[in-house]
Amino acid sequence: MCREGIVLGHKISKSSIEVDRAKVDLIAKLPHPTTVKCVRSFLGHAGFYGRFIQDFSKIARPMTHLLEKETPFIFSTECIDAFNTLKKKLTEAPILVVPDWNLPFELMCDASDYAIGAVIGQRKSK
């Protein structure tokens, strides 16, 4: 019987879900985007693992701004920083574990002028 495997781009086991390292390594090697199409492609690939990155939308905001109509394509230092931060956070992505139904859950929410996010979690000792 298989104890763990790659399913739809995620490494799944009995007790956890984590990113597929092979896919993350490919994303980490990408050069910064030079066109709107490249930005859209990168955000699509990185966004697939967005649940593993805290404040994903907030970090990606400078690049998502480039996708808006009538916005000139200028991949600024702010965009480069966002791009590099997302790649770094992808390579350090946490492992999501199965909930312990005997422990309490915590709901954490955050919002800004352009993003909203929420996460439900539990505090577990190692």
User: Are the CB atoms for 32 and 107 separated by under 8 Å?
Assistant: no
User: What does the pLDDT read at residue 1?
Assistant: 67
- Sorted by where each begins, the domain ranges of the chain are 4-99
pTM of the model: 0.72
User: What does the pLDDT read at residue 115?
Assistant: 78
* Amino acid, single-letter form, for residue 85: T
Work out the number of other CB atoms within 10 angstroms of the CB of residue 68.
8
* Amino acid, single-letter form, for residue 86: L
pLDDT digits 0-9 by tens, 20-54? 888 888 888 889 999 999 999 999 989 888 888 88
* Domain 4-99 of CATH type 3.50.50.60: no
User: Are the CB atoms for 104 and 122 separated by under 8 Å?
Assistant: yes
More reliable by pLDDT, 84 or 93: 84
